[in-house]
Amino acid sequence: MIRNGVQLVLMASLLAMTPLAASAQTGDGAVVAAMSSDAQDAAKTVDAFHAALDKGDGVAAAAFLSEDALIYEGGHAERSKAEYASHHAGADAVYAAAVPSKLLRRSGFANGGMAWVASEARTTGVYKDKPVDRVTTETMTLRKTPEGWRITHIHWSSRAAR
């Protein structure tokens, strides 16, 4: 379990080294902080992970995770890619496919082979015949591998929108 502590220390170090950067608004209204090309590449992996979930494909989404990925959601933890793939990936994919999410804000930073991407979004729609309107926050850490950026840690939280 020490690797998880190391990941948190690395993330804190990366946050401390993050320069204050200007932000820009995208065509769809999201505010995205200026990021290096490596951070932008890491963010593309985050987007590909979400695109797979949005298509209802939990298996494809899990392919973007490192084998030792750590996922925190709703006070629960899944401690590997295999655990996530066998437990919540399918349910996350069904939910994401049913309830669209719109990116509101994003920032990120990369240094060497490590990166973090932090996103805020609004999720609205209907799931299991119930209306959904939630503000979500997500932090992902990523490691650069020969296969590209892989997600090593996800921390999701959400609240009812006002």
Domain ranges of the chain: 2-160
Fold of 2-160: Nuclear Transport Factor 2; Chain: A, (3.10.450)
Which ranges of the chain have pLDDT less than 70? 1-22
Q: What is the pLDDT of residue 14?
A: 45
DSSP 56-124: T-HHHHHTTEEEEEEEEETTEEE-SHHHHHHHTHHHHHHHHHHS-EEEEEEEEEEETTEEEEEEEEEEE
- pLDDT, one tens digit per residue, over 71-94 is 999 999 999 999 999 999 999 999
Q: What is the pLDDT of residue 117?
A: 98
Quickly count: other Cβ atoms within 10 Å of residue 22's Cβ.
Answer: 6
